[in-house]
Amino acid sequence: MAKKAIVNIYLKNGVLDPQGKATHHALEAMDFQGVNDVRMGKQIVLDVEDGVDEEQVKQMCETLLANTVIEDYAIKFEQ
């Protein structure tokens, strides 16, 4: 059996997000109303064996998936 580990990676508060800013400006230029801010993040979906636990996925984030200097991450599992 396998399950999905869903890793959301987003920039820490206070870190400039030029991609989000550009998207925000584009939405305003297209006359979309009511958007105050846009933040752009990554979602990585890992298809893992049942034996893989949160600690191992955390290890993957720390060493490869996230740049922990400027990014935070959240892990959740789905069947």
What is the b/e burial string over 2-38, where b = at least 16 CB atoms within 10 angstroms of the residue's CB?
eeebebebbbeeeeebeebeeebeeeeeeeeeeeeeb
Using rule CB under 8 A, residue 75 touches its own copies: no
Residue (16 or 47) nearer to its own copies, CB: 47
Using rule CB under 8 A, residue 79 touches its own copies: no
Residue (11 or 69) nearer to its own copies, CB: 11
Binder among 12, 15, 32, 70 for its own copies (CB under 8 A): 32
Using rule CB under 8 A, residue 69 touches its own copies: no
In three-state secondary structure terms, 51 is coil
